[in-house]
C-alpha cells in the first residue's frame, strides 16, 4: 500500500476538476482499509472515499486522505430455483455487475444499466433509473467503521434508503467505508418496463423483451442517446435532485404553467408519503425549473448548463470546482426566486 502526497485528482472525477489531495491511497483489500483506519498518523486526519468519481464535485483541494476503492470480486453465495444471491465487492464497476447478471439471465438490475461508478458507491444514493432502484434488490451492505476498523453488515432497513438517499449520505456520512454489497436477483422473469421513456422506446423500435439483456441493451442505447458522455464533456450526471411537490402545490403551478411535466411517484420517497394527508407524491423534473429560469444551454466562463439536459452542469475545459459551485448556486437562487422552491444538489460536494 503506497500513500502518495499532493496527488492530482483530475483523472479520478468525471467533472475533470483538477483538485489535489494532500494524501492519496488505493485500497485493494479489506486489510488495507483496516490498516489505513488504524495508522496513527491518519487517525485524526479528514478522509474521503472515492469510487468512479462520477457523483462528486471537488470544490477545492482536499486537505486530507482520499481513499480510492479498488476492492474487486463478484461471487454467487447461494441459489435456489427462483433466486440467486450475489455478493459484489465495492470497487467493481457497477455496469460490470449488471453485465454479470444479465449474461446469466438474472433479473433485477437491468434497468440500472450503464450508471457510471462503482458498486460501493451505489448504496450511497440508492442509485436509480428507468423505474428501478438499488433498494429493490438489495439484501445487505458490508462496511468498515473508520474509527474502529471493524466490519458491520447493514440490513436493507438499516440503510434507510430514500429517493437518491440513504443513511450513508446522512447520519453516517464519511463514517463507514462500503466494502461489499449483496443482492438478491431473480431467475424468474420480473420485467419492469412501465417507465414511460423505456416503454415508448421499446414500442417505437418494436423490441420484444425475451430476457433481461434485452432491457439492459435498450436502456444502454437510450442513455447513450440522451446523456452527455463525461469523456467528451466532463460532468457528473444530474447535478440536482428532482423535486417532489404536494398535490396542492402542483395545482397552483399548473394554473400558471399548464405544460408543467409531472409524474406520480410511489418509489424511493422517504419517509413514505401519505396521499390521504395530501403529502407530496408528485415528481417534477428539476431540469424543467432550470429551463424555465432560462439556464438551459447557458455558459459562464469554463462552465455551463448542458444544452439538451438542463439538469447536467458541464466543465467546458479547465474549470475549477468553485466555478461549478458558483454556477449551481446561481441556478438554485434563480429557481428559488421564480418558484419559491429549493433545489438540492444530488452531487456530493467535497
Ligand atoms: C453521465 C452520468 C449519468 C448518471 N446517471 C445516474 C443515474 O441514472 N442514476 C443514479 O442514481 N446516478 C447517476 N449518476 C451518478 C453516479 O453515477 C452514481 O451516483 C454512482 O453511484 C456514483 O458512483 P461512483 O463510484 O462514481 O461514486 P463517487 O463519485 O466516487 O462517490 C460518490 C459519493 O459516494 C461516496 N463513496 C464512494 N465510494 C464509497 C464507499 N466505498 N463507501 C462509502 N462511501 C463511498 C463518496 O465519498 C461520495 O460522497 C450519473 C453520473 C453520470 C456522470
pLDDT digits 0-9 by tens, 79-114: 999 999 999 999 999 999 999 999 999 999 999 999
Confidence grade of residue 265 (pLDDT, cut at 50, 70, 90): low
pLDDT above 90 covers what percent of the chain? 86
Question: Is residue 266 predicted with pLDDT exceeding 70?
Answer: no
State the cell numbers at 156: 436493507
For the chain, the domains span: 4-69, 74-186, 235-349
- Residue 346 near residue 164 (C-beta atoms within 8 A): yes
> What CA–CA distance (Å, rounded) separates 28 from 65?
16
Average pLDDT of span 151-170: 95
Catalytic site residue 346? Answer: yes
Pocket test residue of 89, 95, 117 for ligand 1, highest count of atoms within 8 A of CB: 117
Confidence grade of residue 267 (pLDDT, cut at 50, 70, 90): very low
202-220 pLDDT tens trace: 999 999 999 999 999 999 9
Hey, what CATH topology would domain 235-349 get?
3.90.78
123 touches ligand 1 (CB under 6 Å): no
Largest CA distance in the chain: 61
Q: Which phi and psi angles does 150 have, rounded to 5°?
A: -90, 150
> What CA–CA distance (Å, rounded) separates 252 from 257?
9
> Which atom from ligand 1 is nearest to the alpha carbon of 129?
8
Q: Which phi and psi angles does 254 have, rounded to 5°?
A: -65, -30
227 touches ligand 1 (CB under 6 Å): yes
Q: Which of 164, 212, 216, 323 is catalytic?
A: 164
Q: What is the CATH number of domain 4-69?
A: 3.30.43.10
What pLDDT is attached to residue 149? 92
118 touches ligand 1 (CB under 6 Å): yes
> What CA–CA distance (Å, rounded) separates 338 from 182?
44
Question: Is residue 221 predicted with pLDDT exceeding 50?
Answer: yes
Pocket test residue of 116, 175, 226 for ligand 1, highest count of atoms within 8 A of CB: 116
Catalytic site residue 164? Answer: yes
Mean pLDDT, all residues of the chain: 93
What secondary structure letter does DSSP report for 233? Answer: S
Yes or no: domain 74-186 corresponds to CATH 3.40.50.300: no
Spatial CA neighbour of 119 closest among 152, 89, 143: 89
> What CA–CA distance (Å, rounded) separates 255 from 92?
48
Residue nearest ligand 1's atom 2 by CA:
237
Question: Is residue 276 predicted with pLDDT exceeding 60?
Answer: no
53 touches ligand 1 (CB under 6 Å): yes
Helix (H) or strand (E) holding 26: strand 20-27
> What CA–CA distance (Å, rounded) separates 122 from 115?
9
What secondary structure letter does DSSP report for 110? Answer: G
- Residue 45 near residue 5 (C-beta atoms within 8 A): no
Amino acid at each position: 500500500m503506497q500513500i502518495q502526497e499532493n496527488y492530482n485528482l483530475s483523472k479520478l472525477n468525471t467533472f475533470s476538476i483538477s483538485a489535489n489531495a494532500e494524501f492519496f491511497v488505493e485500497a485493494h483489500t479489506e486489510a488495507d482499509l483496516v490498516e489505513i483506519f488504524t495508522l496513527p498518523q491518519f487517525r485524526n486526519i479528514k478522509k474521503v472515499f472515492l469510487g468512479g468519481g462520477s457523483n462528486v464535485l471537488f470544490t477545492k483541494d482536499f486537505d486530507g486522505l482520499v481513499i480510492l476503492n479498488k476492492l474487486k470480486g463478484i461471487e454467487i453465495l447461494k441459489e435456489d430455483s427462483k433466486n440467486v444471491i450475489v455478493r459484489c465487492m465495492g470497487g467493481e464497476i457497477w455496469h460490470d455487475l449488471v453485465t454479470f447478471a444479465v449474461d446469466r439471465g438474472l433479473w433485477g438490475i437491468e434497468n440500472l444499466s450503464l450508471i457510471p461508478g462503482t458498486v460501493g458507491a451505489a448504496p450511497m444514493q440508492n442509485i436509480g433509473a428507468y423505474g428501478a432502484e438499488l433498494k429493490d434488490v438489495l439484501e445487505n451492505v458490508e462496511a468498515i467503521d473508520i474509527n474502529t476498523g471493524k466490519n458491520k453488515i447493514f440490513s436493507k432497513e438499516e440503510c434507510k434508503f430514500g429517493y437518491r438517499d440513504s443513511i450513508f449520505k446522512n447520519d453516517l456520512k464519511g463514517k463507514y467505508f462500503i466494502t461489499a454489497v449483496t443482492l438478491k436477483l431473480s431467475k424468474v422473469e420480473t420485467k419492469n418496463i412501465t417507465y414511460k421513456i423505456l416503454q415508448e422506446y421499446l414500442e417505437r423500435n418494436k423490441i420484444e423483451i425475451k430476457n433481461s439483456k434485452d432491457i439492459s441493451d435498450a436502456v444502454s442505447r437510450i442513455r447513450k442517446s440522451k446523456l452527455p458522455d463525461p469523456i467528451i464533456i466532463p460532468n457528473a450526471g444530474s447535478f440536482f435532485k428532482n423535486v417532489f411537490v404536494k398535490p396542492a402545490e402542483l395545482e397552483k403551478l399548473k394554473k400558471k404553467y399548464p405544460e408543467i411535466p409531472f409524474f406520480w411517484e410511489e418509489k424511493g420517497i422517504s419517509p413514505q408519503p401519505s396521499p390521504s394527508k395530501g403529502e407530496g407524491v408528485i415528481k417534477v423534473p428539476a431540469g424543467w425549473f432550470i429551463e424555465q429560469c432560462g439556464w438551459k444551454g447557458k455558459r459562464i466562463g469554463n462552465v455551463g448548463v448542458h444544452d439538451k439536459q438542463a439538469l447536467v452542469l458541464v466543465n467546458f475545459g479547465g474549470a475549477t470546482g468553485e466555478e461549478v459551485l458558483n454556477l449551481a448556486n446561481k441556478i438554485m437562487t434563480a429557481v428559488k426566486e421564480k418558484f419559491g422552491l429549493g433545489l438540492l444538489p444530488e452531487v456530493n460536494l467535497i
